[in-house]
Amino acid sequence: MKPRLTLINRDYTRLWFGQAVSSVGDAVFNTTLVLWVATVLAKGESWAPMAVSGIVMASGVSVLVIGPLAGVFVDRWDKRATMLRSEALRGALVAVLTALTLLPAGTLPTGVWLVLIYATVLVLNAAGQFFSPARFAVLADLVTGDADRARAAGIGQATGETAWIIGPPLAAPLLFTAGLQWALLLNGLSYAVSYVAIRSVGVRGAGPAPASAGRARRAAARQRGNWRSEFADGLRFFAGSRFLVALLLLAVIGQFGMGALGTLNVFFATGSLHADAHLYGYLGMAMGAGGITGALSGGRVVQWLGARRTTWISLLVSGVLLVAYSRQTGFPGGVALLFVFTVPLTLLNTAMSPLLLSAAPPEYRGRVVAVFYPVTRLASILSAVLSGWLAGSALRGVEGSLGGLRFGPVDTVIAAAGLVILLAGVFAWTALPGTEGAGEAPGEAPGKTEPGPERRERVEVVAHDDGEPAA
């Protein structure tokens, strides 16, 4: 018997392979930038946490400015062509940054390097605002049926988490032994692989969705190039869905809790955990392993507990675990707690893709994703900036003990983030619409108020493209 070499179908397998390679490149790239800014460019400086938070802020600004408008154009354009152009642009941009790193040391001052890094991250993520909704829509054409779509979501999430197991441990050796340019080059090559994989995919209906007679007004607006009308249409649709609004609010609360971990974890590892900077990548590896565990077990857990109950229990448990993580003083204990902490945050990942696809007709899919991303990223930006300012300025030098437990600025902010995640769990418990029944189908028509299984997204620190909307 020949081994099965496809996942769901051949075209999906090709798209998956390209994104698997690209996700590893992104994981190496993101980890490298955080390490380089924290341990090289801003080494020993009091403003180092704020410099790191600037990376998250740059990626978020592109989401907020470009994201809402990108959905309108993605809904108009050919989806595969949009993905190809995005990958070509991102690959070229990384190639330019790689070339600049070959300049002799000291040629460019620290301030210039920070501007270049922030600008690169901003443009890369701006291109991603066109890529992600286009890929989301392409998946709807490649994979049909709730069962296969849920399976595709689980595969995509597990693949993205695997990338964060492979990528971060590669980043530190590449940066500290081979040099920054090799980590950047790896990411540039990953975009090339993704480009070739996307070109090999045959997508039926990848162009703009045809409008029905009942949508003649929107079709006419599209022909006139009235993007404002289309954008307003998307906002009205999103606001009219109680499920989408409740899920968005939940994601925003969770982002305020998680943003601090992304900004401060490198300082927590080298300070409270007393770990060498070379070991930082293993914290990302632990989170990746936890994400895979949560993604692959999500469907079974939701079936057992019910979607609503799984949501608030997972968030409450995650909040407690993050507070416990903030109290760790040894690296092994920190790695173990990060793994356990990530599992409940990703338990519901397999449910999000089929729910969103069922909630939005084809002509709205780009705009639904383009509303969800910017709002959640705004929460991430605010959290990153606030946590960096608190640890690097407002709480700088604060040291003390309470009940025999010592605390400083970094671990205090992370503990507060855990409490915010607890609040997200309380919100999910009291406000998220839906039933407790497991396995119920989404609402019969877009915009219905009883959509079935809910989902709490895993929160990305520096987002990479795994094709799933990130909370």
Rounded average pLDDT over 337-344: 88
Q: Return all residues near 160 (Cβ < 8 A) that are at least 6 apart.
A: 23, 291, 464, 466, 468
- How close are the terminal C-alpha atoms of the chain, in Å? 42
For position 457, what pLDDT does the model report? Answer: 32
* Domains defined along the chain, listed by start: 10-202+238-431 (1.20.1250.20)
For position 429, what pLDDT does the model report? Answer: 82
Please name the helix (run of DSSP H) or strand (run of DSSP E) that holds residue 114, with its range, or none. helix 110-142
Helices and strands, counts by H and E, the chain:
15, 2
Nearest to 436 by CA among 449, 448, 452, 421: 452
Side-chain-side CA neighbours of 80 within 13 Å: the count stands at: 19
Q: What are the tens digits of pLDDT across the range 71-129?
A: 778 878 888 889 899 999 999 999 998 888 888 767 788 888 888 989 988 898 888 88
Highest mean pLDDT among 125-129, 225-229, 346-350: 125-129
Per the prediction, the chain carries an average pLDDT of 74
- pLDDT bin (cut points 50, 70, 90) of residue 443 is very low
Does residue 451 carry a pLDDT above 50?
no
Q: Higher confidence at residue 418 or residue 215?
A: 418
- pLDDT bin (cut points 50, 70, 90) of residue 315 is confident
